[in-house]
Structure 1
Amino acid sequence: MRIGLIGAGAVAPFHITAAAENDGLELTAVCDIDADAAARAASGSGAAVFTDHRRMLTAGVVDAVIVNTPHATHLPIGADAAAAGAHVMVEKPMATTLQDCDRLAELCRQAGVGLTIGHIQHYMPEKVAAQRVLATGELGAVRMIRDNRSTDYRPGSRSEWFFSPEIAGGGALMNIGGHCLDRSLWFGGGRAVEMLATTVHRFGAAVETDGAMLLRLDNGVGVSITVVSDPGTRGDLLTIVCDRGVIEIDPRVGTTVHANGRSRVVHEHHADDIQRAFTAQLADFAAVIAGAEPTVAHAHARHVVELVLTAYRSADEGRALSLLPAGVPA
């Protein structure tokens, strides 16, 4: 299967290596509006270079595409790919509105092409190790999740489009918070029914630079997520509290299970962890094209977008918001 990468941004090398590491897949094209960036990304791969994704799609050199572009472009580029008969994988978030999420899924369905959403947390080895422990039942039910992330949303710290509400769809919560929501919902095993959020705008940015979300899932699990920009101590720590123990996940360290006063490491950090995740994610895309169900359901990816948008509304209105349908008791 011939893969075209659209967008030569920060994670492009992971996608390119993933294509090389998966049997039966070949990177045949790289597209970016910056010709130099596209050429650098394609260097040594033999892939053709394009600056217009539509020309790439009509050149007859790809069977599937990875859309690694600014958030608001996921729908239009995905729609162009589907219309050309190319299978589609889009980076998270799925889109910036629920209408765009639904439209992307429908267009791919109508075109008969595969669609996956790149929620990379589902493939990270330290997260997979935690999920394996939960699946054994040894710790009992999940009761509470705490997810703390640092980031950097100072202007100049990242590409300018991240600071455009129209293009990015939001700031720290849409970007980093999307990862937190993805993994917290996965480990929590439910859908959110209530949201209370706070957003902070610093550094003169047009989008939120910091934020916090408190969620209640439909199975009673409580989730707290905090994203702080440019703190003195950087971190990424997810804690899962279960009936009979606690799992701590730090991608810089690994995954540790604590129960009955004892601890055991179930995954130690390895330098190749991120690449292993991207390689597994692309293998999942190939499996979906072959007829398998995606590891990350479209409904899950859509719900992540729904929750970020609900968080923005909660912060604006200064109150908790229900995600239950009208007439359903809380």
Structure 2
Amino acid sequence: MLKIGIIGAGIISKSHISAIRKNSKVKLESIADINREKADKIANQYEITPYYDYKDMVQNENLDAVIINLPHFLHKECSIYCMEKGLHCLVEKPMATSSKDCDDMIRSAEYNGVKLMIGHVQRYFSENIKAKEIIQSGELGKIAFIVDIRNGLYITPQRPAWYLQKQLSGGGIMMNLGAHSMDKIIWLTDSNIKSIAGKVGSFNQQYDIEEYAQAFVELENGVSASINLSGCASFPVNETRIYLSEGEILIRTGIGLWVSKGSEYEKVDIQSKTDIFELQLNDFVSSIIDHKDSPIPGIYGKRIISAIEQVYQSIKEV
């Protein structure tokens, strides 16, 4: 049985803990967070050991792997420290705040012979899984283009301070939600990004991150896509429209899937709903136990960070 520790006791840690408790091949041993109250609360709830410095946890616990849920700017430092101690790492997205940091993480994983998996979860949503099945069946023909839209108030009082500082978060809505959009598009089409350009902006001058963004993507297989992100006061939306030669697929993540063949939309029956964190953990654990390649390796995470950097760079070049 693999022994796992969690680094970072934020909101997302609860989803990881739930997945761990449902997996018979792993055991949650400990949690680390500099916020003692948060660490103690989770430790008491799940009867595990709390730490207030992740290095103490790594040194004192006989762990096999860690799940890292820290502010983006700490992903590199923390993951490399853990990998140098021989621990496999599942790192929340985005992988890091720069492609250079991604390179350092990739090299560390290779040198230390451990698994590095990045938490890009779009492939685990039941709606996305079914949509890909329909695409690959060919019943709706070939993909012409994709439109991805994510709307929802981005700059809120609930955001931690680091989240709203580009140096610490890596960016705003493009870095955080755009990474999801790119992951979804790449996975659905089985094609990497060939070129990307875009525009970002903000009406809120208090922070140096963007609250709205657009990007135009050209994939290596010739399919194009647009990513449209609004963190302004708009109605919350998370949907992807895939236009094909013989119809259209509408994905509303977490809600459902619809198909049109030139007439009204028909809702697609999805037999089983997936828990994205359970599926993610299953893949992570399987790669370790069965000595398989990481299902979402560092090079994949770097591709998305590089694409986001290209969007930011394209603005400077205008």
- TM bin, normalised by shorter chain, reads over 0.9
Match of 2:308 in 1: 308
The whole-number CA distance in structure 1 between the counterparts of 2:58 and 2:245 is 52
Match of 2:294 in 1: 294
1:196-243 Cα offsets, whole Å, 9 max, x none, are: 211112222211111110111122111100110133311111111122
Match of 1:325 in 2: none
The whole-number CA distance in structure 2 between the counterparts of 1:154 and 1:267 is 36
Alpha-carbon deviation of 1:266?
Answer: 3.1
The whole-number CA distance in structure 2 between the counterparts of 1:262 and 1:294 is 41
Which letter maps to 2:300?
H
Match of 2:276 in 1: 277
Alpha-carbon deviation of 1:262?
Answer: 5.7
Alpha-carbon deviation of 1:125?
Answer: 1.5
Alpha-carbon deviation of 1:260?
Answer: 4.5
1:254-299 Cα offsets, whole Å, 9 max, x none, are: 11122253644335599x75xx100110111001112223332433
The whole-number CA distance in structure 1 between the counterparts of 2:91 and 2:138 is 33
Residues 41-120 of structure 1 aligned to structure 2 (within 5 Å): 41-120=42-121
The whole-number CA distance in structure 2 between the counterparts of 1:43 and 1:130 is 41
The whole-number CA distance in structure 2 between the counterparts of 1:297 and 1:84 is 19
DSSP 3-state at the match of 1:295: coil
Match of 1:125 in 2: 126
DSSP 3-state at the match of 1:44: helix
Find out whether 1:221 has 2:223 as its counterpart. yes
Residues 180-199 of structure 1 aligned to structure 2 (within 5 Å): 180-199=181-200
Match of 1:210 in 2: 212
Which letter maps to 2:69?
N
Task: Classify 1:280/1:262 alpha carbon distance in 2 versus 1 (closer, same or farther; 3 Å).
Answer: same
The whole-number CA distance in structure 2 between the counterparts of 1:268 and 1:39 is 39
The whole-number CA distance in structure 1 between the counterparts of 2:92 and 2:263 is 40
Which letter maps to 1:247?
I
The whole-number CA distance in structure 2 between the counterparts of 1:193 and 1:166 is 27
Match of 2:141 in 1: 140
Give the % identical residues.
Answer: 28
Mapped contact 1:257–1:265 kept (Cα < 8 A): yes
TM value normalised by structure 1 = 0.90
The whole-number CA distance in structure 1 between the counterparts of 2:23 and 2:144 is 38
Structure 2 residue corresponding to 1:253, chosen from 243, 248, 255 = 255
Task: Classify 1:293/1:135 alpha carbon distance in 2 versus 1 (closer, same or farther; 3 Å).
Answer: farther
1:276-323 Cα offsets, whole Å, 9 max, x none, are: 1001101110011122233324332211100111101112222xxxxx
Mapped contact 2:130–2:270 kept (Cα < 8 A): no
Structure 1: runs of 5+ lacking an equivalent:
319-330
Task: Classify 1:267/1:116 alpha carbon distance in 2 versus 1 (closer, same or farther; 3 Å).
Answer: farther
Mapped contact 1:253–1:269 kept (Cα < 8 A): no
Mapped contact 2:126–2:270 kept (Cα < 8 A): no
The whole-number CA distance in structure 2 between the counterparts of 1:269 and 1:307 is 35
The whole-number CA distance in structure 2 between the counterparts of 1:14 and 1:283 is 14
DSSP 3-state at the match of 2:310: helix
Which letter maps to 2:310?
T
Match of 1:328 in 2: none
Residues 237-248 of structure 1 aligned to structure 2 (within 5 Å): 237-248=239-250
Structure 2: runs of 5+ lacking an equivalent:
none
1:33-90 Cα offsets, whole Å, 9 max, x none, are: 1011112223332211011010000012421000101111111100111111111010
Of 38-47 and 12-21, deviating more is 38-47
DSSP 3-state at the match of 1:43: helix
Alpha-carbon deviation of 1:252?
Answer: 4.2
TM value normalised by structure 2 = 0.94
The whole-number CA distance in structure 2 between the counterparts of 1:252 and 1:90 is 23
The whole-number CA distance in structure 1 between the counterparts of 2:77 and 2:243 is 41
Mapped contact 2:212–2:232 kept (Cα < 8 A): no
Mapped contact 1:126–1:269 kept (Cα < 8 A): no
The whole-number CA distance in structure 1 between the counterparts of 2:53 and 2:194 is 41
The whole-number CA distance in structure 1 between the counterparts of 2:282 and 2:166 is 33
Mapped contact 2:153–2:234 kept (Cα < 8 A): no
Match of 2:25 in 1: 24
CA RMSD of aligned residues (A): 1.8
Task: Classify 1:296/1:139 alpha carbon distance in 2 versus 1 (closer, same or farther; 3 Å).
Answer: farther
The whole-number CA distance in structure 2 between the counterparts of 1:43 and 1:317 is 52
